[in-house]
Structure 1
Amino acid sequence: MKTIARFILYTILGWKLENDFPQEPKKYVVIAAPHTSWLDFPIAILSRMTSGTMVHFIGKSSLFKGPFGFFFKALGGTPVDRSKSTNMVDAVIDVFNTKEEFRLGISPEGTRKKVDKWKTGFYYIAKGAKVPIVMATLDFKNKKIKISKPYYTTDNIEADFEVFYSFFKDVKGKNPELF
């Protein structure tokens, strides 16, 4: 599968992977941005397959129903019912605490629509699970996926978010007006 994914991502689609997903530590949160198109998902899955590193994801529960539900679960997805007010952060921290190896990919925007500010759930998941954050870009302008080294949060959320924002500065999503 790795060879096929590389062929599709690099040769057919023309993307480049700058760096790779860290093998250590075995647990971390991946924030991938910008998330401006449905095309982000297959590019992210191909990059994950190319690296051979399993990065799980969560998605709206409607994706996991019907004929394609098994497909998203097989790709490492977990459904989330966004209509219920459950404490998602604590639930994901519990998942981290029960696994020896777990990497979770999240879009900090929380949607493909334009947002004024990022959601903070990923940050509190990382803090609560005591795991670092790895940043991953999907730069459609340059067809480049760039992955950071693990970043351990501090006690200063504003400073931490400045690190995140600076990593994604000048990255162009498929629909750049939405980022």
Structure 2
Amino acid sequence: MLKLGGIPVYRVNSKGLIRGAVEEFKTLNNYILVIAPEGGVEAVEQFRSGFYYLAKGLNIPYVPIEIDFKNRCFGILEPEFINGTFEEESEKIAELFDGVTGATRIFRML
């Protein structure tokens, strides 16, 4: 990903990462921001908030992507702008993913 212009995220020392990323992206004329899907090997109870603060800070839409392991398919959903709090946006996304079976079976946020 580095050869394509990717910027790695080191979670060990990520304090201020989002704020710095927002300021950096504001200086660019043209870019495509891709954040890897949320899933992992463990079930999660809530989304991470990075996508929210990036989209809100840059006033850009986010595009939810669903990966359904049970049906072996994925979907690219409609772009969404931030219109509410992190909790409201998370609830909206969880509803979009209702019925999607991830790698850890069912998303347990609802």
TM superposition score normalised by structure 1: 0.51
Which protein has the bigger strand share? 1
Pair 1:117 & 2:39 matched: no
What is aligned with 1:148? 77
Q: Deviations over 1:85-137 (max 9, x none)?
A: 5211112212321331222224346x532222221121011101111110001
Please state how far the C-alpha of 1:153 moved relative to its aligned partner: 1.0
Alignment check: 8 A CA contact 1:141 1:172 kept: yes
Is the Cα–Cα contact under 8 Å of residues 69 and 101 in structure 2 kept in the other structure? Answer: yes
Output the aligned Cα RMSD: 2.3
**How many equivalent residue pairs?**
107
Q: In the alignment, residue 21 of structure 2 is paired with which amino acid?
A: V
For structure 1, list consecutive stretches of 5 or more residues without a partner in the other structure: 1-71
Rounded Cα–Cα distance in structure 2 between residues aligned with 1:152 and 1:178:
23
TM-score by length of structure 2 reads 0.78
- With over 3 angstroms needed to count, the CA separation of the structure-2 counterparts of 1:79 and 1:154, relative to structure 1, is same
In 1: Cα distance, 2:48 partner to 2:33 partner: 19
Report if aligned partners of 2:65, 2:75 keep a CA contact under 8 Å in 1: yes
Q: Deviations over 1:62-102 (max 9, x none)?
A: xxxxxxxxxx4235532222222521111221232133122
1:141 aligned counterpart, secondary structure? coil
Work out whether 1:105 is the aligned partner of 2:32: no
1:20-46 Cα shifts (integer Å, max 9, x gaps):
xxxxxxxxxxxxxxxxxxxxxxxxxxx
Q: CA distance change for structure 1 residues 113 and 75 in 2, over 3 Å: closer, same or farther?
A: farther
Aligned counterparts of 1:102 and 1:76: Cα–Cα separation in 2 = 10
Return the index of the structure with the highest Cα Rg.
Answer: 1
Give the % identical residues: 28
Higher helix share: 1
